[in-house]
Chain A
Amino acid sequence: MSKITIPLGPQHPALKEPGNFLLVLEGEQIVGATVRLGYNHRGIEKACEDRSYIQDLYLIERVCGICSHSHTTCFCMAAEDAAKVEVPKRAQAIRVLVGELERIHSHLLWLGVAGHEIGFDTLFMYAWKDREQVMDCLEMISGNRVHYSINTIGGVRRDITPEQAAEILKRVDLLEERTKYYIKLATEEPTLIARVEGVGLLPTEEAHKRGAVGPTARGSNVPRDVRKDDPHLIYEELDFQVITSGACDVFGRLYVRVFELLESFKIIRQVLKSLPEGPIVAKVPRKIPPGEGVGHYEAPRGEDIHYVRSNGSEKPERVKVRAPSLANFSSVAYMLEGGYLADAPIVIAAIDPCFSCTDRAILVKDQSGRDLTLDWEDLRRRGIEFYRHRGLDFSRIA
Protein backbone atom coordinates (compact mmCIF):
# COMPACT_ATOMS: atom_id res chain seq x y z
CA MET A 1 0.00 0.00 0.00
CA SER A 2 1.48 3.33 -1.01
CA LYS A 3 2.25 6.03 1.50
CA ILE A 4 0.39 9.29 1.24
CA THR A 5 1.49 12.47 2.92
CA ILE A 6 -1.26 14.79 4.05
CA PRO A 7 -0.42 18.22 5.33
CA LEU A 8 -3.32 19.39 7.47
CA GLY A 9 -2.88 23.09 6.88
CA PRO A 10 -4.95 25.84 8.36
CA GLN A 11 -7.54 27.45 6.15
CA HIS A 12 -8.57 29.34 9.20
CA PRO A 13 -5.63 30.06 11.43
CA ALA A 14 -6.77 30.72 14.91
CA LEU A 15 -5.60 31.85 18.24
CA LYS A 16 -4.81 28.70 20.09
CA GLU A 17 -1.57 27.83 18.38
CA PRO A 18 -3.41 25.84 15.78
CA GLY A 19 -1.90 23.09 13.86
CA ASN A 20 -0.50 22.44 10.57
CA PHE A 21 -0.20 18.73 10.99
CA LEU A 22 1.70 16.67 8.48
CA LEU A 23 0.25 13.17 8.37
CA VAL A 24 1.86 10.25 6.60
CA LEU A 25 -0.68 7.57 5.78
CA GLU A 26 -0.42 3.94 4.93
CA GLY A 27 -3.89 3.05 3.80
CA GLU A 28 -6.19 4.35 6.51
CA GLN A 29 -3.58 4.41 9.25
CA ILE A 30 -1.42 7.32 10.26
CA VAL A 31 2.17 6.13 10.43
CA GLY A 32 3.77 9.50 10.97
CA ALA A 33 2.67 12.86 12.29
CA THR A 34 4.54 16.12 12.71
CA VAL A 35 3.15 19.36 14.03
CA ARG A 36 3.83 22.81 12.68
CA LEU A 37 2.62 25.79 14.68
CA GLY A 38 2.51 29.53 14.59
CA TYR A 39 -0.28 30.53 12.25
CA ASN A 40 -2.05 32.74 14.72
CA HIS A 41 0.91 34.89 15.62
CA ARG A 42 -0.19 38.48 16.09
CA GLY A 43 2.70 39.99 18.02
CA ILE A 44 0.84 40.53 21.27
CA GLU A 45 3.86 40.36 23.57
CA LYS A 46 5.63 43.10 21.65
CA ALA A 47 2.49 45.22 21.62
CA CYS A 48 2.22 44.86 25.41
CA GLU A 49 5.52 46.71 25.86
CA ASP A 50 4.04 49.70 24.09
CA ARG A 51 0.91 49.97 26.18
CA SER A 52 0.19 50.63 29.82
CA TYR A 53 -0.68 47.79 32.17
CA ILE A 54 -4.36 48.68 32.01
CA GLN A 55 -4.35 48.83 28.23
CA ASP A 56 -2.56 45.50 28.21
CA LEU A 57 -5.48 43.96 30.08
CA TYR A 58 -7.68 44.50 27.04
CA LEU A 59 -5.07 43.10 24.71
CA ILE A 60 -4.30 40.05 26.86
CA GLU A 61 -8.01 39.38 27.20
CA ARG A 62 -8.13 38.87 23.46
CA VAL A 63 -5.42 36.26 23.35
CA CYS A 64 -8.38 33.91 23.36
CA GLY A 65 -12.08 34.49 23.16
CA ILE A 66 -12.90 31.34 25.05
CA CYS A 67 -10.74 31.76 28.14
CA SER A 68 -10.13 35.47 28.19
CA HIS A 69 -10.69 35.73 31.94
CA SER A 70 -8.02 33.09 32.53
CA HIS A 71 -5.51 35.18 30.66
CA THR A 72 -6.27 38.46 32.35
CA THR A 73 -6.34 36.86 35.79
CA CYS A 74 -2.98 35.22 35.11
CA PHE A 75 -1.56 38.51 33.86
CA CYS A 76 -2.91 40.39 36.87
CA MET A 77 -1.41 37.85 39.27
CA ALA A 78 2.00 38.26 37.63
CA ALA A 79 1.75 42.07 37.69
CA GLU A 80 0.47 42.03 41.27
CA ASP A 81 3.46 39.95 42.32
CA ALA A 82 5.77 42.41 40.62
CA ALA A 83 3.96 45.30 42.31
CA LYS A 84 3.91 43.46 45.66
CA VAL A 85 0.20 44.11 45.99
CA GLU A 86 -2.23 42.08 48.05
CA VAL A 87 -5.55 41.57 46.32
CA PRO A 88 -8.60 41.81 48.64
CA LYS A 89 -10.38 38.56 49.44
CA ARG A 90 -13.68 39.61 47.92
CA ALA A 91 -11.98 40.35 44.59
CA GLN A 92 -10.28 36.98 44.63
CA ALA A 93 -13.60 35.28 45.25
CA ILE A 94 -15.20 37.13 42.35
CA ARG A 95 -12.27 36.14 40.14
CA VAL A 96 -12.87 32.50 41.09
CA LEU A 97 -16.59 32.83 40.40
CA VAL A 98 -16.03 34.22 36.91
CA GLY A 99 -13.22 31.72 36.32
CA GLU A 100 -15.42 28.76 37.12
CA LEU A 101 -18.28 30.14 35.02
CA GLU A 102 -15.75 30.41 32.22
CA ARG A 103 -14.65 26.83 32.77
CA ILE A 104 -18.26 25.70 32.46
CA HIS A 105 -18.87 27.60 29.25
CA SER A 106 -15.60 26.33 27.79
CA HIS A 107 -16.25 22.69 28.63
CA LEU A 108 -19.79 22.88 27.24
CA LEU A 109 -18.42 24.49 24.12
CA TRP A 110 -15.93 21.67 23.80
CA LEU A 111 -18.62 19.08 24.33
CA GLY A 112 -20.58 20.54 21.46
CA VAL A 113 -17.58 20.76 19.17
CA ALA A 114 -16.52 17.21 19.98
CA GLY A 115 -20.04 16.04 19.19
CA HIS A 116 -19.92 17.86 15.89
CA GLU A 117 -16.59 16.31 14.97
CA ILE A 118 -17.91 12.77 15.32
CA GLY A 119 -21.25 13.45 13.67
CA PHE A 120 -23.32 13.81 16.82
CA ASP A 121 -24.88 17.16 16.00
CA THR A 122 -27.71 16.81 18.49
CA LEU A 123 -25.12 16.92 21.25
CA PHE A 124 -23.68 20.06 19.68
CA MET A 125 -27.05 21.80 19.73
CA TYR A 126 -27.87 20.70 23.30
CA ALA A 127 -24.50 21.66 24.72
CA TRP A 128 -24.48 25.08 23.11
CA LYS A 129 -28.06 25.74 24.16
CA ASP A 130 -27.14 24.96 27.77
CA ARG A 131 -24.09 27.11 27.40
CA GLU A 132 -26.39 30.10 26.91
CA GLN A 133 -27.28 29.85 30.61
CA VAL A 134 -23.69 30.57 31.48
CA MET A 135 -23.36 33.33 28.91
CA ASP A 136 -26.40 34.98 30.49
CA CYS A 137 -24.80 34.81 33.95
CA LEU A 138 -21.60 36.33 32.65
CA GLU A 139 -23.46 39.07 30.82
CA MET A 140 -25.46 39.84 33.93
CA ILE A 141 -22.34 40.24 36.06
CA SER A 142 -20.11 41.99 33.58
CA GLY A 143 -22.12 43.47 30.74
CA ASN A 144 -20.68 41.24 28.04
CA ARG A 145 -21.18 37.63 26.98
CA VAL A 146 -17.54 37.24 26.06
CA HIS A 147 -14.53 39.33 27.12
CA TYR A 148 -16.04 40.18 30.47
CA SER A 149 -13.19 42.55 31.48
CA ILE A 150 -13.95 41.98 35.13
CA ASN A 151 -10.29 42.21 36.18
CA THR A 152 -8.14 45.18 36.90
CA ILE A 153 -4.67 45.20 38.39
CA GLY A 154 -5.28 44.86 42.10
CA GLY A 155 -8.75 43.33 41.96
CA VAL A 156 -11.96 43.41 40.02
CA ARG A 157 -13.95 46.23 38.49
CA ARG A 158 -17.45 45.17 39.40
CA ASP A 159 -19.13 43.72 42.41
CA ILE A 160 -21.76 40.98 42.69
CA THR A 161 -25.15 41.87 44.11
CA PRO A 162 -27.20 39.40 46.15
CA GLU A 163 -29.79 39.33 43.34
CA GLN A 164 -27.16 38.35 40.83
CA ALA A 165 -25.87 35.68 43.18
CA ALA A 166 -29.36 34.21 43.53
CA GLU A 167 -29.85 34.18 39.77
CA ILE A 168 -26.52 32.43 39.21
CA LEU A 169 -27.38 29.76 41.77
CA LYS A 170 -30.69 29.13 40.03
CA ARG A 171 -28.97 28.57 36.71
CA VAL A 172 -26.29 26.42 38.25
CA ASP A 173 -29.04 24.13 39.55
CA LEU A 174 -30.47 23.90 36.05
CA LEU A 175 -27.08 23.21 34.52
CA GLU A 176 -26.38 20.49 37.05
CA GLU A 177 -29.48 18.64 35.89
CA ARG A 178 -28.37 18.97 32.30
CA THR A 179 -24.87 17.82 33.17
CA LYS A 180 -26.27 14.64 34.64
CA TYR A 181 -27.69 13.95 31.21
CA TYR A 182 -24.28 14.52 29.62
CA ILE A 183 -22.68 12.20 32.13
CA LYS A 184 -25.21 9.55 31.24
CA LEU A 185 -24.43 10.03 27.56
CA ALA A 186 -20.70 9.93 28.12
CA THR A 187 -20.80 6.80 30.23
CA GLU A 188 -23.70 4.85 28.77
CA GLU A 189 -24.29 5.71 25.11
CA PRO A 190 -22.48 2.92 23.23
CA THR A 191 -22.14 4.78 19.94
CA LEU A 192 -20.45 7.71 21.63
CA ILE A 193 -18.20 5.51 23.71
CA ALA A 194 -17.20 3.47 20.68
CA ARG A 195 -16.07 6.61 18.87
CA VAL A 196 -13.87 7.79 21.72
CA GLU A 197 -12.66 4.69 23.50
CA GLY A 198 -9.17 3.56 22.59
CA VAL A 199 -8.80 6.58 20.34
CA GLY A 200 -5.91 9.03 20.68
CA LEU A 201 -3.94 7.03 23.21
CA LEU A 202 -1.54 8.97 25.38
CA PRO A 203 -0.02 6.78 28.11
CA THR A 204 0.59 8.41 31.48
CA GLU A 205 4.34 8.35 31.03
CA GLU A 206 4.18 10.10 27.69
CA ALA A 207 1.78 12.73 29.00
CA HIS A 208 4.19 13.34 31.84
CA LYS A 209 7.29 13.45 29.69
CA ARG A 210 5.80 15.73 27.07
CA GLY A 211 4.49 18.22 29.58
CA ALA A 212 0.78 17.76 28.88
CA VAL A 213 -1.55 19.98 30.90
CA GLY A 214 -5.21 20.32 31.74
CA PRO A 215 -7.84 17.71 30.89
CA THR A 216 -5.43 16.22 28.34
CA ALA A 217 -3.03 15.36 31.15
CA ARG A 218 -5.71 14.47 33.69
CA GLY A 219 -7.38 12.16 31.16
CA SER A 220 -4.09 10.26 31.14
CA ASN A 221 -3.94 10.00 34.90
CA VAL A 222 -1.51 12.87 35.44
CA PRO A 223 -3.08 14.76 38.34
CA ARG A 224 -1.87 18.21 37.35
CA ASP A 225 -4.20 21.06 38.30
CA VAL A 226 -2.85 24.49 39.18
CA ARG A 227 -5.84 25.08 41.49
CA LYS A 228 -4.44 22.38 43.78
CA ASP A 229 -0.72 22.51 42.95
CA ASP A 230 -0.20 26.26 43.21
CA PRO A 231 -3.33 27.40 45.02
CA HIS A 232 -4.09 30.91 43.90
CA LEU A 233 -6.98 33.25 44.64
CA ILE A 234 -9.14 31.44 47.23
CA TYR A 235 -8.82 27.90 45.88
CA GLU A 236 -7.02 26.74 49.00
CA GLU A 237 -10.15 27.35 51.05
CA LEU A 238 -12.51 25.58 48.68
CA ASP A 239 -13.56 21.97 48.70
CA PHE A 240 -13.32 20.34 45.28
CA GLN A 241 -11.66 17.39 43.59
CA VAL A 242 -9.17 17.07 40.81
CA ILE A 243 -10.81 14.78 38.27
CA THR A 244 -8.56 12.25 36.59
CA SER A 245 -9.14 9.26 34.40
CA GLY A 246 -6.93 6.28 33.79
CA ALA A 247 -8.38 5.76 30.32
CA CYS A 248 -5.55 7.71 28.59
CA ASP A 249 -7.71 8.24 25.50
CA VAL A 250 -10.32 10.64 24.16
CA PHE A 251 -12.88 9.03 26.45
CA GLY A 252 -10.68 9.94 29.39
CA ARG A 253 -10.56 13.57 28.27
CA LEU A 254 -14.33 13.58 27.82
CA TYR A 255 -14.85 12.03 31.24
CA VAL A 256 -12.60 14.61 32.92
CA ARG A 257 -14.33 17.60 31.35
CA VAL A 258 -17.84 16.40 32.06
CA PHE A 259 -17.11 15.62 35.71
CA GLU A 260 -15.20 18.87 36.10
CA LEU A 261 -18.46 20.63 35.36
CA LEU A 262 -19.85 19.16 38.58
CA GLU A 263 -16.84 20.39 40.53
CA SER A 264 -17.28 23.86 39.10
CA PHE A 265 -20.90 23.94 40.24
CA LYS A 266 -19.70 22.90 43.69
CA ILE A 267 -17.14 25.69 43.75
CA ILE A 268 -19.58 28.35 42.60
CA ARG A 269 -22.04 27.42 45.32
CA GLN A 270 -19.35 27.63 47.98
CA VAL A 271 -18.12 30.98 46.73
CA LEU A 272 -21.59 32.52 46.61
CA LYS A 273 -22.58 31.09 49.96
CA SER A 274 -19.73 32.82 51.76
CA LEU A 275 -18.61 35.75 49.65
CA PRO A 276 -16.09 37.65 51.80
CA GLU A 277 -16.93 41.23 52.73
CA GLY A 278 -14.61 44.07 51.91
CA PRO A 279 -13.24 46.12 49.04
CA ILE A 280 -13.03 44.75 45.53
CA VAL A 281 -9.79 46.38 44.53
CA ALA A 282 -6.45 47.38 46.06
CA LYS A 283 -4.68 50.54 45.05
CA VAL A 284 -1.85 49.89 42.61
CA PRO A 285 0.44 52.68 41.41
CA ARG A 286 0.26 53.49 37.73
CA LYS A 287 4.01 53.07 37.51
CA ILE A 288 4.93 49.67 38.90
CA PRO A 289 8.42 49.69 40.48
CA PRO A 290 11.02 47.35 39.00
CA GLY A 291 10.17 43.75 39.75
CA GLU A 292 8.94 40.54 38.22
CA GLY A 293 6.20 37.99 38.70
CA VAL A 294 5.02 34.67 37.32
CA GLY A 295 1.27 34.21 37.04
CA HIS A 296 0.01 30.65 37.21
CA TYR A 297 -3.62 29.74 36.59
CA GLU A 298 -5.69 26.69 35.67
CA ALA A 299 -7.51 27.73 32.51
CA PRO A 300 -10.17 25.40 31.11
CA ARG A 301 -7.56 23.98 28.74
CA GLY A 302 -4.87 23.63 31.35
CA GLU A 303 -1.96 25.45 32.89
CA ASP A 304 -1.69 29.06 31.82
CA ILE A 305 1.56 30.78 32.64
CA HIS A 306 2.43 34.49 32.31
CA TYR A 307 5.60 36.35 33.20
CA VAL A 308 5.67 40.09 33.77
CA ARG A 309 8.68 42.30 34.37
CA SER A 310 8.15 45.87 35.47
CA ASN A 311 10.70 48.64 35.09
CA GLY A 312 9.33 51.55 37.10
CA SER A 313 7.36 53.02 34.21
CA GLU A 314 3.69 52.69 33.41
CA LYS A 315 4.46 50.18 30.68
CA PRO A 316 5.78 46.69 31.35
CA GLU A 317 9.32 45.83 30.35
CA ARG A 318 8.27 42.38 29.21
CA VAL A 319 5.12 40.28 29.09
CA LYS A 320 5.33 36.60 28.28
CA VAL A 321 2.24 34.51 27.63
CA ARG A 322 2.28 30.73 27.36
CA ALA A 323 -1.26 29.58 26.71
CA PRO A 324 -2.15 26.01 27.72
CA SER A 325 -2.68 24.49 24.29
CA LEU A 326 0.93 25.08 23.35
CA ALA A 327 1.99 22.69 26.08
CA ASN A 328 -0.24 19.98 24.62
CA PHE A 329 0.92 20.00 21.04
CA SER A 330 3.87 17.72 21.56
CA SER A 331 1.36 15.14 22.78
CA VAL A 332 -0.92 15.41 19.75
CA ALA A 333 1.67 14.10 17.30
CA TYR A 334 2.10 11.10 19.58
CA MET A 335 -1.65 10.52 19.77
CA LEU A 336 -2.16 10.66 16.02
CA GLU A 337 0.46 8.10 15.13
CA GLY A 338 -0.83 4.57 14.85
CA GLY A 339 -4.40 5.75 14.70
CA TYR A 340 -6.84 5.95 11.83
CA LEU A 341 -7.24 9.00 9.64
CA ALA A 342 -10.93 8.80 10.51
CA ASP A 343 -10.03 9.59 14.11
CA ALA A 344 -7.80 12.57 13.37
CA PRO A 345 -10.54 15.21 13.82
CA ILE A 346 -11.66 13.99 17.25
CA VAL A 347 -8.11 13.35 18.46
CA ILE A 348 -7.06 16.88 17.59
CA ALA A 349 -10.29 18.32 18.95
CA ALA A 350 -9.84 16.38 22.19
CA ILE A 351 -6.95 18.52 23.34
CA ASP A 352 -9.39 21.38 22.94
CA PRO A 353 -7.51 23.69 20.62
CA CYS A 354 -9.38 26.76 19.56
CA PHE A 355 -12.67 26.19 17.82
CA SER A 356 -11.42 27.80 14.65
CA CYS A 357 -8.66 25.28 14.44
CA THR A 358 -11.19 22.84 13.21
CA ASP A 359 -11.60 24.74 9.96
CA ARG A 360 -8.61 23.61 8.01
CA ALA A 361 -7.80 22.76 4.48
CA ILE A 362 -5.90 19.62 3.73
CA LEU A 363 -3.75 19.01 0.69
CA VAL A 364 -3.35 15.41 -0.29
CA LYS A 365 -0.53 14.30 -2.50
CA ASP A 366 -0.25 10.74 -3.62
CA GLN A 367 2.83 8.99 -4.92
CA SER A 368 2.30 10.14 -8.48
CA GLY A 369 2.40 13.72 -7.21
CA ARG A 370 -1.26 14.45 -7.97
CA ASP A 371 -2.77 17.23 -5.89
CA LEU A 372 -6.16 16.76 -4.33
CA THR A 373 -7.69 19.33 -2.04
CA LEU A 374 -9.66 18.10 0.92
CA ASP A 375 -10.92 20.42 3.56
CA TRP A 376 -11.53 19.73 7.22
CA GLU A 377 -15.22 19.19 6.53
CA ASP A 378 -14.35 16.38 4.13
CA LEU A 379 -11.97 14.84 6.64
CA ARG A 380 -14.64 15.06 9.28
CA ARG A 381 -17.24 13.51 6.97
CA ARG A 382 -14.85 10.74 5.96
CA GLY A 383 -14.44 9.91 9.63
CA ILE A 384 -18.18 9.82 10.19
CA GLU A 385 -18.75 7.63 7.12
CA PHE A 386 -15.89 5.31 8.08
CA TYR A 387 -17.61 4.59 11.37
CA ARG A 388 -21.12 4.53 9.96
CA HIS A 389 -20.01 1.58 7.84
CA ARG A 390 -18.98 -0.07 11.05
CA GLY A 391 -22.40 0.42 12.61
CA LEU A 392 -21.84 3.65 14.55
CA ASP A 393 -24.57 6.04 13.52
CA PHE A 394 -25.55 9.01 15.68
CA SER A 395 -28.55 9.89 13.56
CA ARG A 396 -30.42 7.15 15.36
CA ILE A 397 -29.96 8.76 18.77
CA ALA A 398 -32.65 11.14 19.99
Chain B
Amino acid sequence: MAGVRTEEEIKEILEKRFGTILSNWVIQRKRRIYVDVPRENLVEVVGFARRELGFDHLGTITGLDGGEYLEFLYHLSNQGLLLSLRTKAPVSDPRVQTILHLFPGAEPYERELEDMLGAKVEGLPPGRHYPLPDDWPQGQHPLKKNWKVSDAYPAEV
Protein backbone atom coordinates (compact mmCIF):
# COMPACT_ATOMS: atom_id res chain seq x y z
CA MET B 1 0.00 0.00 0.00
CA ALA B 2 1.35 3.41 -0.89
CA GLY B 3 2.39 5.65 1.96
CA VAL B 4 -0.13 8.28 2.94
CA ARG B 5 0.32 11.30 0.72
CA THR B 6 -0.90 14.81 1.30
CA GLU B 7 -4.23 15.98 0.00
CA GLU B 8 -2.50 18.13 -2.63
CA GLU B 9 -0.41 15.21 -3.84
CA ILE B 10 -3.47 13.04 -4.24
CA LYS B 11 -5.22 15.78 -6.22
CA GLU B 12 -2.16 16.17 -8.43
CA ILE B 13 -1.90 12.48 -9.24
CA LEU B 14 -5.61 12.19 -9.99
CA GLU B 15 -5.58 15.32 -12.16
CA LYS B 16 -2.57 14.02 -14.05
CA ARG B 17 -4.39 10.78 -14.79
CA PHE B 18 -7.92 12.05 -15.38
CA GLY B 19 -7.58 15.71 -16.23
CA THR B 20 -10.79 17.65 -16.64
CA ILE B 21 -12.92 14.55 -16.14
CA LEU B 22 -12.63 15.48 -12.48
CA SER B 23 -14.04 18.84 -11.46
CA ASN B 24 -15.14 20.93 -8.51
CA TRP B 25 -12.19 20.01 -6.31
CA VAL B 26 -12.61 20.92 -2.65
CA ILE B 27 -9.90 20.25 -0.11
CA GLN B 28 -12.00 21.16 2.89
CA ARG B 29 -9.34 20.52 5.52
CA LYS B 30 -6.82 17.90 6.47
CA ARG B 31 -7.97 14.46 5.32
CA ARG B 32 -11.14 15.69 3.60
CA ILE B 33 -11.26 15.85 -0.21
CA TYR B 34 -14.37 16.18 -2.36
CA VAL B 35 -14.42 15.97 -6.15
CA ASP B 36 -17.01 15.51 -8.88
CA VAL B 37 -16.83 12.55 -11.29
CA PRO B 38 -19.17 11.90 -14.24
CA ARG B 39 -20.99 8.64 -13.69
CA GLU B 40 -19.54 6.96 -16.79
CA ASN B 41 -16.04 7.40 -15.30
CA LEU B 42 -16.90 6.48 -11.74
CA VAL B 43 -15.76 2.85 -11.74
CA GLU B 44 -12.50 3.74 -13.43
CA VAL B 45 -11.69 6.47 -10.92
CA VAL B 46 -12.64 4.30 -7.94
CA GLY B 47 -10.51 1.48 -9.32
CA PHE B 48 -7.54 3.78 -9.82
CA ALA B 49 -7.90 5.28 -6.35
CA ARG B 50 -7.99 1.80 -4.89
CA ARG B 51 -5.11 0.30 -6.83
CA GLU B 52 -2.72 3.22 -7.18
CA LEU B 53 -3.51 5.55 -4.30
CA GLY B 54 -4.18 3.16 -1.43
CA PHE B 55 -7.88 3.96 -0.99
CA ASP B 56 -8.60 0.42 0.10
CA HIS B 57 -11.60 1.02 2.34
CA LEU B 58 -15.11 2.14 1.43
CA GLY B 59 -16.66 4.03 4.34
CA THR B 60 -20.15 4.23 2.87
CA ILE B 61 -22.14 5.56 -0.06
CA THR B 62 -24.44 8.52 0.55
CA GLY B 63 -27.36 9.05 -1.80
CA LEU B 64 -29.25 12.33 -2.04
CA ASP B 65 -32.29 13.58 -3.83
CA GLY B 66 -31.18 16.67 -5.75
CA GLY B 67 -34.50 17.27 -7.46
CA GLU B 68 -33.84 16.79 -11.17
CA TYR B 69 -30.99 14.42 -10.41
CA LEU B 70 -29.83 11.94 -7.81
CA GLU B 71 -26.47 12.56 -6.23
CA PHE B 72 -24.19 9.81 -4.95
CA LEU B 73 -21.15 10.30 -2.75
CA TYR B 74 -18.65 7.49 -2.51
CA HIS B 75 -16.61 7.98 0.67
CA LEU B 76 -13.28 6.21 0.15
CA SER B 77 -10.66 5.98 2.84
CA ASN B 78 -6.88 5.63 2.76
CA GLN B 79 -5.99 5.07 6.38
CA GLY B 80 -8.34 7.80 7.50
CA LEU B 81 -7.86 10.23 4.63
CA LEU B 82 -11.35 10.54 3.17
CA LEU B 83 -11.86 11.08 -0.54
CA SER B 84 -15.52 11.67 -1.34
CA LEU B 85 -16.27 11.14 -5.02
CA ARG B 86 -19.47 12.85 -6.07
CA THR B 87 -21.45 11.65 -9.08
CA LYS B 88 -24.89 12.44 -10.42
CA ALA B 89 -27.58 10.69 -12.42
CA PRO B 90 -30.70 12.29 -13.84
CA VAL B 91 -33.95 11.20 -12.20
CA SER B 92 -35.20 10.22 -15.65
CA ASP B 93 -32.34 7.73 -15.91
CA PRO B 94 -31.12 7.01 -12.36
CA ARG B 95 -28.47 4.44 -13.28
CA VAL B 96 -25.03 4.04 -11.77
CA GLN B 97 -22.50 1.22 -12.08
CA THR B 98 -21.76 -1.17 -9.26
CA ILE B 99 -18.38 -1.13 -7.49
CA LEU B 100 -18.98 -4.49 -5.82
CA HIS B 101 -16.04 -6.08 -7.62
CA LEU B 102 -13.76 -3.47 -6.07
CA PHE B 103 -15.39 -3.37 -2.65
CA PRO B 104 -17.32 -6.54 -1.72
CA GLY B 105 -18.66 -4.77 1.35
CA ALA B 106 -20.51 -2.24 -0.83
CA GLU B 107 -23.58 -4.40 -1.22
CA PRO B 108 -25.80 -2.96 1.56
CA TYR B 109 -24.82 0.59 0.57
CA GLU B 110 -25.76 0.00 -3.08
CA ARG B 111 -29.02 -1.72 -2.20
CA GLU B 112 -29.86 1.23 0.00
CA LEU B 113 -29.56 3.57 -3.01
CA GLU B 114 -32.12 1.45 -4.82
CA ASP B 115 -34.53 1.11 -1.91
CA MET B 116 -34.41 4.64 -0.58
CA LEU B 117 -33.99 6.73 -3.73
CA GLY B 118 -35.08 4.55 -6.61
CA ALA B 119 -31.61 4.38 -8.13
CA LYS B 120 -30.68 1.48 -10.40
CA VAL B 121 -27.25 0.05 -9.65
CA GLU B 122 -26.16 -1.83 -12.75
CA GLY B 123 -24.31 -5.03 -12.13
CA LEU B 124 -25.65 -5.48 -8.63
CA PRO B 125 -26.81 -9.11 -8.48
CA PRO B 126 -30.50 -9.62 -7.68
CA GLY B 127 -31.17 -9.83 -3.98
CA ARG B 128 -33.50 -8.88 -1.20
CA HIS B 129 -34.29 -5.39 -0.07
CA TYR B 130 -32.05 -3.44 2.22
CA PRO B 131 -32.98 -1.70 4.47
CA LEU B 132 -36.68 -1.78 3.71
CA PRO B 133 -38.74 -4.88 4.51
CA ASP B 134 -39.63 -7.40 1.80
CA ASP B 135 -43.27 -6.40 1.78
CA TRP B 136 -42.58 -2.69 1.29
CA PRO B 137 -44.77 -1.36 -1.52
CA GLN B 138 -43.09 -1.07 -4.90
CA GLY B 139 -42.01 2.28 -6.21
CA GLN B 140 -42.00 3.95 -2.80
CA HIS B 141 -38.66 5.54 -2.00
CA PRO B 142 -38.63 7.18 1.42
CA LEU B 143 -35.60 9.42 0.99
CA LYS B 144 -37.07 11.24 -1.98
CA LYS B 145 -37.81 14.76 -0.83
CA ASN B 146 -41.46 14.76 -1.82
CA TRP B 147 -42.22 11.33 -0.32
CA LYS B 148 -44.51 11.09 2.69
CA VAL B 149 -45.67 8.10 4.71
CA SER B 150 -49.17 8.51 3.33
CA ASP B 151 -47.78 7.75 -0.13
CA ALA B 152 -47.13 4.18 0.94
CA TYR B 153 -49.78 3.79 3.62
CA PRO B 154 -52.73 6.03 2.75
CA ALA B 155 -55.12 4.20 5.07
CA GLU B 156 -53.22 5.21 8.18
CA VAL B 157 -53.41 8.97 7.93
- Residues of A that sit less than 8 Å from B by CB: 17, 36-39, 41, 43, 45-46, 81, 208-211, 224, 226, 228-231, 292-294, 296, 303, 305, 307, 309, 317-318, 320, 322, 326-327, 329-330
Contacts and interface: CB of A to CB of B under 8 A. Distances in A.
Given A38-B132, A81-B28, A318-B64, A330 B105 contact: yes
5 contacts: A41-B131, A45-B116, A293-B32, A320-B60, A322-B60
B57 A330 contact: no
B107 interface: yes
A293 B128 CA distance: 31
Given A37-B130, A41-B131, A210 B75 contact: no
B142 A208 contact: no
Contact of A226 (B28, B32, B80, B103): B80
Contacts of B84: 294
B143 A38 contact: no
B59 A36 contact: no
B60 A229 contact: no
Contacts of A230: 31, 77, 80-82
B103 A211 contact: yes
B142 A46 contact: yes
A309 B64 contact: yes
B80 A211 contact: no
A36 B82 contact: no
Contacts of A229: 77, 79-80
A41 B108 CA distance: 13
Given A43-B142, A307-B73, A211 B57 contact: yes
Interface string B28-57: 110110100000000000000000000011
A305 B80 contact: no
A37 B104 contact: no
Contacts of A36: 128
B62 interface: yes
Contacts of B34: 292
Contact of B104 (A210, A292, A318, A326): A210
A320 B105 contact: no
B32 A81 contact: yes
B19 interface: no
A37 B131 contact: yes
B103 to A, nearest CB: 6
A309 B105 CA distance: 24
Nearest to B64: A318
Contacts of A41: 131-133
Given A81-B28, A210-B105, 5 more contacts: A211-B105, A294-B84, A303-B59, A322-B60, A330-B105
Contact of B82 (A38, A296, A322): A296
Contacts of A45: 116, 143
Contacts of A211: 57-58, 103-105
B82 A326 contact: no
A171 B123 CA distance: 54
Contact of B29 (A81, A226, A320): A81
Contact of A327 (B56, B79, B105, B143): B105
Contact of A326 (B62, B108, B143): B108
Contacts of A292: 34
Nearest to A228: B80
A37 B60 contact: no
Interface string B110-132: 00000010000000000011111
Contacts of B59: 294, 296, 303, 305, 322
Contacts of B31: 230
A320 B62 contact: yes
A320 to B, nearest CB: 4
Nearest to A41: B131
Nearest to B1: A208
B49 to A, nearest CB: 15
Nearest to A334: B104
A278 B75 CA distance: 34
